[in-house]
A = this chain, B = another copy of it.
């Protein structure tokens, strides 16, 4: 409840349009709708100026359809992450604009495409196996109103490839950097650019990569100070943070 509505509310009390007893009750409750299995929070949309996003994982296609329908009634844009093929079918029945990105599992309805960011966001990844995570970041950042510059396969084992792209990356306002295995790319990249680096460890690797733990630890211990980190494989979260920075 923002200050303006709160003020109006208290004026109602002052002017007798709202009795005290009911006001006590109302003040204790926040407005939201009830879908039974999930409460769609319009508060969050108001607060962050971004469309709600559905995490497909752990939901049934029917649940995804029901939430999507509710959300599409009031927003032209929708994102479902970690969605199955069946979830894509469910959303496509609601909107023929629905796009599917099978590598990352993203489903997107991108009706309103105005640019809200101040500059580009660069999305960089170390190896071809990291592309699914980079794609989730790209698809997310686009639907949130950013222009993206994607630069793939520039891992530290071939540092010259990274060096040749530094000018493009530095031209962005913020860079999302996805890497698995030893997760060294954000450190090397961070030393070469003066923009914030959002590091995304990926679960790419085997053996002692421990499903992304090694990359995660590497990024948290980065000797480059312009690096902050999100969860393993969390391309969505990285795009969200980058979007906030790009709108400042």
Contacts and interface: CB of A to CB of B under 8 A. Distances in A.
Interface of A: 3, 6-7, 10-11, 13-14, 16, 20-21, 23-24, 27-30, 32, 37-39, 41, 43-44, 47-49, 53, 55, 57-59, 63, 82, 118, 126-129, 131, 152-161, 163-164, 166-167, 173, 181-184, 187-188, 190-196, 198, 201, 203-234, 236-238, 240-241, 244-245, 248
Contact of A161 (B30, B129, B196): B30
Given A13-B14, A155-B223, A248-B173, A206 B30 contact: no
Contact of A44 (B44, B158, B220): B158
B198 A208 contact: no
A1 B208 CA distance: 34
A4 B217 CA distance: 38
A195 B238 CA distance: 14
Contacts of A39: 152-154, 161
A30 B222 contact: no
Contact of A43 (B128, B160, B203, B240): B160
B20 A11 contact: yes
A184 B155 CA distance: 11
A156 B241 contact: no
B212 A207 contact: yes
A248 B7 CA distance: 34
B182 A219 contact: yes
A223 B53 CA distance: 12
Contacts of A155: 223
